[in-house]
Structure 1
Amino acid sequence: MKRRAWLTLGAVVLGGGGIAGYAVASPSTDGAGGPAERPVKVYNLGLKAPETGERELPRTETKQFSLLGISWTGATKQLDGKAQVRTRSVDTGTWSSWQDLETDADPVEDADERAGARGASEPLWVGPSDGVEVQVVHEDGTTSAGLPSGLKVNLVDPGVTAAEADAATEPAAYAEDVTPSPTAPSPTATTPAGPASNVPEPPIVSRADWGADEDLSPDPSEYNTDVKAVFVHHTAGSNDYTCAESASIVRAIYAYHTAPAPNGNGWNDLGYNFLVDKCGTIFEGRKGGVDQPVLGAHTYGWNRESAGIAVIGEYTAAGASNAALTSVARIAAWKLGQYGVDPASTVQLKAGATQKNLAGTSFTSGTSYPFSAISGHRDGYATECPGNSLYGQLPTIRAWAAGPVQGLKVTSLTGATLSGSTYWTKGAITVKWSTTTPGSLISKFELLVDGNVVTTVPGTATSANTTLAAGSHKVAVRAVHQSGKTDEKSTTTALTVVADTTAPVFATTPKLTLRTGTVETAAVPVTLGWKATDAQALKQVNLTSPTTATFGPTITSSNRTAKSGAASTWSMTAYDVAGNTRTSSPAFTPLILQETSATKSGTWTSRSSSSYLGGKSYSSGTKNASLTWTFTGRSAAWVVSRASTSGQAYVYVDGTKVATVDLKSSTTKYRQAIWTKSWSSSAQHKIKIVVVGTSGRPTITTDGLVYVK
């Protein structure tokens, strides 16, 4: 962590203004470079009135502070004007741009009981700073006559707790953005446990854990009868804080509110019952027990029947994070749930003051008015709080807090294949889903099969597994809100999932047969044929050896080539849509029989050329000259050379004439499988070719016979 210098200043005297409340000795940094433990400090600087009629504080060097605000004499007085501040960063030494302070803070309701209590702006967190400049202008911009007296800027150094000092000595990787550990409140002899809620209590960081100096709030807590509504606020100030600073911010706001005047506002405690940072950490605010209906000071005129929740930061232009919204929804639902109030309901609140809200609605003290159970500060008082953007997010907070679960949808179904509108599986499936309602507000998810709950998982889960029995099923997911609410949208549309464990079959085992084409010793033209079927739905058939290919469910053949003289395994796997498989792996060997292996009759002439199989062939123009090959196999092809002068031949199979083949071709071709024959099984066969003696072109040239065994 970066070392930060602590300025050792005495009282800073301003011409015509106030002085610093005290001087502070210089705490040292510890040996690891982190800050040493030091207490919270609050002090003030007075504003002077220049000739312009404004109130201002020129650029002034100060002790270190991280939060500031302006205050004035008279706790019930309002500042009708604009207040702006600039600060100098301890880290960089640079001055910030002008920042507005929110001056429409609620007046103090018990001001007559708080001697010296002051009116004040909302505090502004600026981070470690050592200089300040302030200007305050009346709303007419010309005179200070309407500004309250005793204007001061209050500066707060939140100090460093022992726990924070210890954490700072850890390596940076472990100290970054660490929030205090939550602790559950416990009843005492004088503070019994509050009523049980109908939803779970979220984790809450106690006052002790964020470092509250209870000496600043000596008065006993006051309690309401119940809590009918919660008002949502923002603390204003910067959103650039880290979540590791959140406890310091809460501590600083507390000191700003409670430090004795004139250094602080002289109030009796934090105004808010709870505070939430942008990472979703919930802090205990006003003392008295988080499970009690503690009287707060957050929404003027409406504190007697409500609780206040403030989101740390400023949310006029930018909305609060989902983490913050989630925690506001959780704490609001829990607190309202203690008194049976539906967070989505409308409640009646009795006005404690005659006033108007930001929208101009008038309220008369003692009269009851309708409010949303989760309302914004501006709904009850004339203030911009909680900012336009956060105010626009209140419907989301209400929906999340009240339930039922929103935005539930199945995002994927793994272990199954979608075909049309039906999923197919071998049995084991994983269903995944998403919701717009955060998981911490969801009690559980139920996986339904045919309307029955088969698996239950926590509300933070996003998937569930099950294994289906064979057959067709309807699969859905149901979400149960922490309130127990469900509706028709809390259950997804059922998916049709068929569990199938029966593998496909090869009705026709893969077979290799010869086809016409050019014959090479390394590439004999063949046709691979098969037929796969499935009781449910065939997806595809894959050829995996001696090469690879994928075929659709209706394809039953493919033209390929095979190497002669070598046995090859033709392995095929059939897949159904459920993922079941069947593999068949027959082996076939194409062999070439040269013409010299045939039995001859009549006159034949041997020819030599590299264009012939084996370099040689036989030719004959003698009518009835013949060649006969005997082999054992399941498919055969006669291989010839062709030209424009080639003649015709008869083909006999096992003694029966089956074809007359014309070898004539407009172009010269060699090694042509011109005639083929296949059988259902392997057996011994005789193929005989006989020269027809065609007039004008009697000669035929044979290049052998190819067969498959």
Structure 2
Amino acid sequence: MRTPRHFWKTTAIVAAGLSGALVLQSMTGQQTDSAPSDGAPGPVTGKAETTALRMSGDGTAASLGKRDTGPFSMLGVTWSAPSARVAGTVEVRTRQAGTQAWSSWLQLDGDSGQGESGALRGGTEPAWVGPSDGVEVRVDGEGTTRLPKGLRLDLVDPGSGEVTALDPAAYSLDEDETPDPSVSEPEPGTDPGADPQPDTTVSEPPVSDSPEPVVPEPSASDPSSAAPSEPEPSQSEPSVSSSPTASPSPSVSVPPAPPSTAPSPPITTRAAWGADESISPEEPGYLPGGRVKAVVVHHTAESNDYTCAQGPAVVRGIYAYHVKQLGWKDLGYNFLVDKCGTVYEGRKGGVDRPVMGAHAYGFNAETTGVSVLGTYTSTAPSTAAMTSVARIAAWKLGQYGVDPTGTATLTAGDSGRSYFGKTWAKGAPLSLPAIHGHRDGYNTQCPGDAFYNKLATVRAWAGGPVSGLALKSVTGAGAAGSTTYTKSSVTVNWSATTPAALVAKYELLVDGKVVATTAGTATSAKATLTAGTHKVAVRAVHQSGRATTTAAATVVAETTAPAFTTKPNLALRTGTVNTTAAPLTLKWKATDGAALKEVRLTAPTAKTYGPTITSASHTAKSATATTWSLKAYDQAGNTATASVTGTPVILQESSATKSGTWSTKSSSSYLGGKSYTSSAKNASLTWTFTGRSVAWVASRATTSGQAHIYVDGTKLTTVDLKSATTKYRDALWTKTWSTSAKHTVKIVVVGTSGRPAVTTDGLVYLN
């Protein structure tokens, strides 16, 4: 099919500035901020400015000094010969609109790296710089390489808002139309707007007021990009199931749109992002073989500072740059993705058709191109962007039975060289990943080191199975070691690194059987288990159908409550005694048939004890009955309760039966404010009480002596009261029985040589 000739009738508008001026070209008709009367979105128009760069005398450097411009948000540097490349560095800096703030120098990718049949010019990748009104350029061939001829700066204002559809006043489309006599047809490889032979110094270039030259008939510079032979006209408009697209002309035979094994992601149509179809009136082309074999991933090598709301404007800027500045027939990429994950329809012809793009020189005829807006040389693309690339790649490859994780054999449409130095001849078969980077098939950095290093992840996400699947926890129950316990119901929680948009579903398995199915966005599911031991796992099903399963967790369902095999009991213990805090020990033992989790003290205070703890030290107020309540929990959540009540009672020394000589001592440090002391050998005090535990309370010092202790008439022990520090109200001896009963306790002064004194504060018993 012969690509129709088109040329642009433009009016040169000079935008005067403080330090220079540039030629302003209208990209379409008049711009307006109003929407069409029928409410449908219309094309968004914009403008472009161009000016030639001043070349150095030896042709190895070029520049454009600081100057004011009309408003623009995207720029690039282009040159006359489409096949030429800039071997050095191309740098620009811009002034933020309405301010005096200049950006740092931005290096442009020196080669757009595509290969559009009939391209008018070569150029760098376009760079999004945000709303700007000033610019400066420098190009350095590094002293050894001559730069291509016709170097110029191209500025694009992509416009904003929705506008009404306008007659394409800015161009004429007619194969036989006579060009404007003021515009001469350029010779192949020349550019009427290029500088004349440079002088030996670098200076500001003159303002060029010539309009954009007529676009010549395209030549098959990329055999793989050549349009297929002209087919018979289609009899009906094609249907596009995935999203509305501009319908190709009925004169184009539209290939079928086979169903895919993967769902289509949401796609923003050309109409929705404001494509002005009037600037690219040619019919779309389709892959000669009618099938996509691989997806080539790109970045647009521009700033990452755009906002999500600016995504459509960035796409419009690239579209205008490709068509108006480089002379391509349409946007080069089949799809574009912004950093927020929005997918945009690129080259027209139907998103579900094998549309031929201009994105991978030598391999356009067998691939589709997906480009992420931004530069990813050192910064990896966002997860949202990578997810969308994986989704669009899986969908397109799924239409033709290509495994996204596999390889594809492509036939080189021309000789070439990769970024890694691999070379091939025209017609050579190349084995490449089904999802690969532009650098694999062309000598370019695209899609940047940071993005290229993530392509393995994109392939895994696109082709499955779900990666990073892990069973995080089983809740609603307890766990002991690797075993989880429950009465019956459990909530199983999991995670995965594959984005949810690429997961078809999750299945909860109990003993190998599916008991619950959730959406791919879920991270948990519930199940009710019968009594017994079970194996619980999660299976993730990728949108490709590939499945992966977590390791199984052991879950025991049981409803038997724990038991207190030793009922709670109390005993007095050693320690300091006062009327508000008599030291005592609470004891118990709880067991469970499956797994005891803990024992909680719920009254008179709250404490929690591990499953192996069977006693705890506490204090209780004297002369007050206190109930100690315990609750045992097993790992399944079953419980049992038990309690004990006790009353500590203080017996003052004055209530004892005395024998021998005792004297009274008074001090606030003594229990009750008084104590008995004796140094007389065999002097004794005897108390009688009814209880189940008893403690003798004494005061102690370095000169304290010893005392024999008799219980119910039997000597049990001899206690030494000597202490390195002075102590008052010290319970230093205790005795406990299994039940409460009547008992007598007698203390007898030993009369220890050199330190015979014994001082007692009384007795405490527990009933």
1:132 to 127, 131, 135: 135
Map 1:284-303 to 2 at 5 A: 284-303=345-364
Match of 1:161? 161
Deviation at 1:623, TM superposition (A): 9.1
Deviation at 1:461, TM superposition (A): 2.2
What secondary structure, in the 3-state scheme, does the structure 1 residue paired with 2:744 have?
A: strand
Deviation at 1:692, TM superposition (A): 11
Instruction: Provide, for residues 350-372 of structure 1, a one-character-per-residue CA deviation record: whole Å limited to 9, x for no partner.
Output: 22223333334343334433222
Q: Which amino acid aligns with 1:208?
A: A
**Cα distance between partner residues in 1 of 2:313 and 2:697:** 94
**Does the C-alpha gap of structure 1 residues 91 and 193 become closer, same or farther in structure 2, counting only changes over 3 Å?**
farther
Task: Determine if contact 1:649/1:662 at 8 Å carries over to the other structure.
Answer: yes
**Cα distance between partner residues in 1 of 2:734 and 2:649:** 14
**Cα distance between partner residues in 2 of 1:100 and 1:247:** 23
Match of 1:589? 647
Match of 1:34? none
The question of 1:390 aligning with 2:394 is answered no
1:44 to 12, 34, 50: 50
Deviating more after overlay: 268-277 vs 388-397: 388-397
**Cα distance between partner residues in 2 of 1:380 and 1:237:** 21
Normalised TM-score (structure 1): 0.81
Task: Determine if contact 1:193/1:292 at 8 Å carries over to the other structure.
Answer: yes
Match of 1:201? 264
Task: Determine if contact 2:580/2:622 at 8 Å carries over to the other structure.
Answer: yes
Task: Determine if contact 1:424/1:498 at 8 Å carries over to the other structure.
Answer: yes
What secondary structure, in the 3-state scheme, does the structure 2 residue paired with 1:570 have?
A: strand
Deviation at 1:649, TM superposition (A): 6.7
**Does the C-alpha gap of structure 1 residues 626 and 159 become closer, same or farther in structure 2, counting only changes over 3 Å?**
closer
What secondary structure, in the 3-state scheme, does the structure 1 residue paired with 2:45 have?
A: coil
2:693 to 615, 635, 654: 635
Map 1:216-235 to 2 at 5 A: 216-224=279-287, 225-235=290-300
Match of 2:382? 321
The question of 1:251 aligning with 2:316 is answered yes
Q: Which amino acid aligns with 1:333?
A: A
The question of 1:72 aligning with 2:79 is answered yes
Deviating more after overlay: 344-353 vs 614-623: 614-623
Deviation at 1:427, TM superposition (A): 3.9
**Does the C-alpha gap of structure 1 residues 83 and 628 become closer, same or farther in structure 2, counting only changes over 3 Å?**
closer
**Cα distance between partner residues in 1 of 2:72 and 2:153:** 12
Deviation at 1:551, TM superposition (A): 3.7
Task: Determine if contact 2:269/2:345 at 8 Å carries over to the other structure.
Answer: yes
Task: Determine if contact 2:242/2:264 at 8 Å carries over to the other structure.
Answer: no
Deviation at 1:483, TM superposition (A): 0.3
Deviation at 1:79, TM superposition (A): 5.0
Map 1:96-111 to 2 at 5 A: 96-106=103-113, 108-111=115-118
Instruction: Provide, for residues 372-403 of structure 1, a one-character-per-residue CA deviation record: whole Å limited to 9, x for no partner.
Output: 21122222223332223322222221121111
What secondary structure, in the 3-state scheme, does the structure 2 residue paired with 1:68 have?
A: strand
Instruction: Provide, for residues 214-233 of structure 1, a one-character-per-residue CA deviation record: whole Å limited to 9, x for no partner.
Output: 11111121222111111111
Q: Which amino acid aligns with 2:267?
A: I
**Cα distance between partner residues in 2 of 1:47 and 1:700:** 111
**Cα distance between partner residues in 2 of 1:625 and 1:376:** 100
**Does the C-alpha gap of structure 1 residues 9 and 532 become closer, same or farther in structure 2, counting only changes over 3 Å?**
same
Map 1:263-342 to 2 at 5 A: 264-342=325-403
1:687 to 744, 752, 759: 744
Task: Determine if contact 1:538/1:553 at 8 Å carries over to the other structure.
Answer: yes
**Does the C-alpha gap of structure 1 residues 12 and 538 become closer, same or farther in structure 2, counting only changes over 3 Å?**
same
Deviation at 1:577, TM superposition (A): 3.3
The question of 1:566 aligning with 2:624 is answered yes
The question of 1:370 aligning with 2:431 is answered yes
Task: Determine if contact 1:75/1:107 at 8 Å carries over to the other structure.
Answer: no
Match of 1:212? 275
Task: Determine if contact 1:400/1:437 at 8 Å carries over to the other structure.
Answer: yes
What secondary structure, in the 3-state scheme, does the structure 2 residue paired with 1:332 have?
A: helix
Instruction: Provide, for residues 114-170 of structure 1, a one-character-per-residue CA deviation record: whole Å limited to 9, x for no partner.
Output: 7xx3333322222222223334455754756xx23x443222100112289xxxxxx
**Cα distance between partner residues in 2 of 1:186 and 1:269:** 17
**Does the C-alpha gap of structure 1 residues 555 and 120 become closer, same or farther in structure 2, counting only changes over 3 Å?**
closer
Instruction: Provide, for residues 535-587 of structure 1, a one-character-per-residue CA deviation record: whole Å limited to 9, x for no partner.
Output: 22223333343345444433333344322211112222323334433332322
**Does the C-alpha gap of structure 1 residues 42 and 565 become closer, same or farther in structure 2, counting only changes over 3 Å?**
same
Map 1:408-487 to 2 at 5 A: 408-486=469-547
**Cα distance between partner residues in 2 of 1:693 and 1:359:** 100
**Does the C-alpha gap of structure 1 residues 24 and 372 become closer, same or farther in structure 2, counting only changes over 3 Å?**
closer
Match of 1:10? 14
Deviating more after overlay: 193-202 vs 494-503: 494-503
The question of 1:659 aligning with 2:715 is answered yes
Deviation at 1:303, TM superposition (A): 1.3
**Cα distance between partner residues in 2 of 1:546 and 1:408:** 47
Task: Determine if contact 1:10/1:22 at 8 Å carries over to the other structure.
Answer: no
**Cα distance between partner residues in 2 of 1:670 and 1:137:** 93
Deviating more after overlay: 450-459 vs 307-316: 450-459
**Does the C-alpha gap of structure 1 residues 366 and 408 become closer, same or farther in structure 2, counting only changes over 3 Å?**
same
Deviation at 1:96, TM superposition (A): 3.4
Match of 2:100? 93
Q: Which amino acid aligns with 1:587?
A: T
Specify every segment of 5 or more residues in structure 2 that has no aligned partner in the other structure, as ranges: 1-11, 35-42, 165-240
What secondary structure, in the 3-state scheme, does the structure 2 residue paired with 1:586 have?
A: strand
Match of 2:168? none
Deviation at 1:249, TM superposition (A): 0.7
**Does the C-alpha gap of structure 1 residues 658 and 580 become closer, same or farther in structure 2, counting only changes over 3 Å?**
farther
Task: Determine if contact 2:678/2:758 at 8 Å carries over to the other structure.
Answer: yes
Deviation at 1:590, TM superposition (A): 1.8
Task: Determine if contact 2:706/2:752 at 8 Å carries over to the other structure.
Answer: no
Task: Determine if contact 2:26/2:47 at 8 Å carries over to the other structure.
Answer: no
Q: Which amino acid aligns with 2:688?
A: W
Normalised TM-score (structure 2): 0.75
Provide the identity percentage: 51
The question of 1:120 aligning with 2:181 is answered no
Deviation at 1:337, TM superposition (A): 0.3
Instruction: Provide, for residues 639-672 of structure 1, a one-character-per-residue CA deviation record: whole Å limited to 9, x for no partner.
Output: 67899677757543xxxx4435657755798767
Match of 2:579? 521
**Cα distance between partner residues in 1 of 2:138 and 2:265:** 42
Task: Determine if contact 1:258/1:266 at 8 Å carries over to the other structure.
Answer: yes
Q: Which amino acid aligns with 1:323?
A: A
Deviation at 1:239, TM superposition (A): 1.9
Q: Which amino acid aligns with 1:564?
A: S
Deviating more after overlay: 306-315 vs 542-551: 542-551
Deviation at 1:522, TM superposition (A): 2.9
Task: Determine if contact 2:677/2:759 at 8 Å carries over to the other structure.
Answer: yes
Task: Determine if contact 1:316/1:386 at 8 Å carries over to the other structure.
Answer: yes
Instruction: Provide, for residues 500-555 of structure 1, a one-character-per-residue CA deviation record: whole Å limited to 9, x for no partner.
Output: 43332222221122345664333334332222222222233333433454444333
What secondary structure, in the 3-state scheme, does the structure 1 residue paired with 2:25 have?
A: coil
**Does the C-alpha gap of structure 1 residues 272 and 504 become closer, same or farther in structure 2, counting only changes over 3 Å?**
same
The question of 1:403 aligning with 2:403 is answered no
The question of 1:512 aligning with 2:570 is answered yes
Task: Determine if contact 2:92/2:107 at 8 Å carries over to the other structure.
Answer: yes
**Does the C-alpha gap of structure 1 residues 528 and 361 become closer, same or farther in structure 2, counting only changes over 3 Å?**
closer
The question of 1:347 aligning with 2:408 is answered yes
**Cα distance between partner residues in 2 of 1:650 and 1:71:** 111
**Cα distance between partner residues in 2 of 1:138 and 1:602:** 117
